[in-house]
């Protein structure tokens, strides 16, 4: 779809169908770095069609002196580490928002290994001048675990190619641990051995083995269909290719949404999710391991008038936008407050109401657009600006939505600000 602003109106609230999701963006981006470092020994199947993955694949194949990742945060972090091993001088840059997203912790860790990296503009932020290859004199690196798991994954992905290997010491609480486990599991598929004892992950210098990695469909994308099922009157979806032993942390959506009456049956090579009547009783949701699910679940709780409490949201402020502030703005449009006290967030739904029409700002954030879309089952007309932003992770989202909800075509609008 090419239109930027669309109006959605769901003609039915009973949903059923099959949704074929693109490959996991998280798995795909890690696997692409592995493929590049292995000189093609690692082969990939079912690569994600997400814009972030397409961008990363293009950059890895281009060999340009300037690499622009746009808004692709994972690409920025992974390429920062990747380029330290290459015999090249590279300027790594991105969108204006990317230049506001901190990367100093990763740069400092790479400098501990002997990398040559300079900030082209503001200290601690992209763009970066990277001169490789690094001359490693040290294998010991200390890095905080409570900021972004992508910093840690970036280091782990290059570890087998480091002349002295890597001893990574993680300090503090580890955020998004399943993403670290995903990285290590993918490396293991390519024959990379590691040890993880306490706060230290050790990977020796070693070659990648020839292998084929089949990318699982994206559980993050699946989460939006769980939300649709939650707010619709009746729902039954089949999502082929997903399994109950996923590497993806966002597969926790099955356990979270069970609280809302959504059951998940793994059968016939996928997952069947159905809605059953259930009173929502859970009061506290912790997203430390799966922060990308937070917006989706918070919107569902708000729309159901459930004054839930949320923890583990610390990383949301440094994502594609400040997701906390963005949620506060959008929830207020139907009377709900998201209140913060010492990193604990609570909904106040006392003034919840559903207007006939609502205008949703996306803040150039794909997850804001998709997390708020299920409001179509509570509000007659939902107008969403910058609808094409979903291409970042789920390019066929609107097409799937039209088919499942019987929307004939979302209405494109011209809007003057």
The answer to whether 8 touches 373, Cβ cutoff 8 Å, is yes
The answer to whether 383 touches 357, Cβ cutoff 8 Å, is yes
Confidence of residue 11 (pLDDT cuts 50, 70, 90): low
Report, in angstroms and rounded to the nearest whole number, the Rg of the chain calculated over CA atoms.
Answer: 21
**Rounded Cα–Cα distance for residues 182 and 247 (Å):** 5
With pLDDT > 70 as the criterion, what percentage of the chain qualifies? Answer: 96
**Rounded Cα–Cα distance for residues 341 and 345 (Å):** 6
pLDDT, tens only, 336-382: 999 999 999 999 999 999 999 999 999 999 999 999 999 999 999 99
pLDDT value of residue 407:
58
Q: Is the pLDDT of residue 20 over 90?
A: yes
pTM above 0.85, yes or no: yes
pLDDT, tens only, 274-286: 999 888 888 999 9
Unique residue bearing structure tokens 């294998």: 139
Domains (range + CATH), the chain: 5-22+216-413 (3.65.10.10), 25-202 (3.65.10.10)
**Rounded Cα–Cα distance for residues 173 and 171 (Å):** 7
Q: Is the pLDDT of residue 35 over 90?
A: yes
**Rounded Cα–Cα distance for residues 128 and 16 (Å):** 47
Write out the H or E segment, with its range, that includes residue 309. strand 309-311
Confidence of residue 130 (pLDDT cuts 50, 70, 90): very high
**Rounded Cα–Cα distance for residues 185 and 90 (Å):** 30
Q: Is the pLDDT of residue 406 over 70?
A: no
Unique residue bearing structure tokens 């380029």: 83
pLDDT, tens only, 291-300: 999 999 999 9
**Rounded Cα–Cα distance for residues 30 and 288 (Å):** 21
Residue 86, φ and ψ in degrees, nearest 5: -95, 150
Distances in whole angstroms, Cα of residue 285 to Cα of each of 173, 258, 278: 18, 13, 17
Q: Could you give the count of Cα atoms lying within 13 Å of 313 in the half-sphere of its Cβ?
A: 26
Task: Work out the burial of residue 25: count CB atoms within 10 Å of its CB; fewer than 13 is exposed, 13-18 middle, 19 or more buried.
Answer: buried
pLDDT value of residue 404:
84
Residues 6+ apart with CB under 8 A from 195: 201, 202
Q: Is the pLDDT of residue 74 over 50?
A: yes
**Rounded Cα–Cα distance for residues 289 and 90 (Å):** 33
Q: What is the mean pLDDT of residues 296-313?
A: 97
The answer to whether 182 touches 26, Cβ cutoff 8 Å, is yes
Q: Is the pLDDT of residue 3 over 80?
A: no
Q: Is 286 a catalytic residue?
A: no
Catalytically annotated residue among 218, 250, 292, 400:
292
Q: What is the mean pLDDT of residues 144-171?
A: 96
């Amino acid at each position: 779809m090419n239109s930027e602003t669309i109006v959605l109106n769901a003609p039915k609230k009973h949903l059923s169908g099959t949704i074929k999701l693109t490959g996991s963006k998280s798995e795909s981006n890690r696997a692409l770095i592995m493929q590049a470092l292995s000189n093609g020994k690692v082969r990939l199947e079912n690569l994600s069609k997400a814009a972030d993955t397409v961008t990363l694949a293009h950059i890895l194949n281009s060999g340009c002196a300037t690499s622009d990742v746009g808004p692709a945060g994972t690409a920025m972090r992974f390429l920062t580490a990747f380029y330290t091993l290459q015999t090249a001088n590279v300027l790594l840059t991105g969108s204006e928002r990317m230049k506001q997203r901190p990367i100093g912790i990763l740069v400092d860790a790479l400098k501990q290994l002997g990398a040559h990296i300079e900030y082209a503009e503001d200290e601690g932020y992209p763009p970066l001048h990277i001169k490789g290859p690094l001359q490693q004199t040290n294998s010991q690196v200390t890095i905080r675990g409570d900021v972004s798991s992508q910093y840690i994954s970036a280091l782990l992905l290059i570890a087998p190619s480091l002349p002295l290997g890597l001893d990574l010491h993680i300090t503090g609480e580890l955020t998004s641990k399943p993403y670290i486990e995903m990285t290590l599991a993918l490396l293991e598929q390519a024959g990379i051995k590691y040890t993880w004892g306490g706060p230290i992950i050790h990977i020796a210098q070693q070659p990648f083995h020839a292998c084929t990695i089949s990318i699982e469909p994206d559980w993050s994308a699946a989460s939006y269909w769980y939300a649709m099922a939650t707010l619709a009157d009746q729902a039954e979806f089949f999502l082929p290719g997903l399994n109950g032993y996923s590497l993806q942390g966002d597969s926790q959506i099955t356990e979270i949404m069970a609280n809302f009456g959504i059951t998940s049956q793994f059968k016939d090579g996928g997952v069947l999710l159905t809605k059953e009547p259930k009173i929502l009783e859970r009061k506290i949701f912790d997203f430390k391991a799966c922060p990308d699910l937070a917006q989706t679940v918070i919107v569902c709780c708000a729309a159901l008038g459930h004054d839930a409490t949320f923890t583990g949201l610390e990383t949301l402020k440094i994502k594609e936008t400040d997701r906390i502030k963005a949620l506060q703005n959008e929830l207020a449009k139907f009377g709900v407050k998201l209140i913060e006290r010492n990193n604990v967030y609570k909904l106040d739904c006392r003034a919840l109401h559903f207007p006939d029409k609502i205008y949703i700002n996306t803040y150039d954030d794909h997850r804001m657009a998709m997390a708020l879309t299920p409001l179509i089952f509570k509000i007659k007309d939902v107008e969403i600006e910058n609808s094409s932003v979903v291409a970042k992770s789920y390019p066929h989202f609107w097409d799937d939505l039209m088919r499942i909800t019987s929307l004939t075509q979302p209405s494109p609008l011209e809007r003057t600000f």
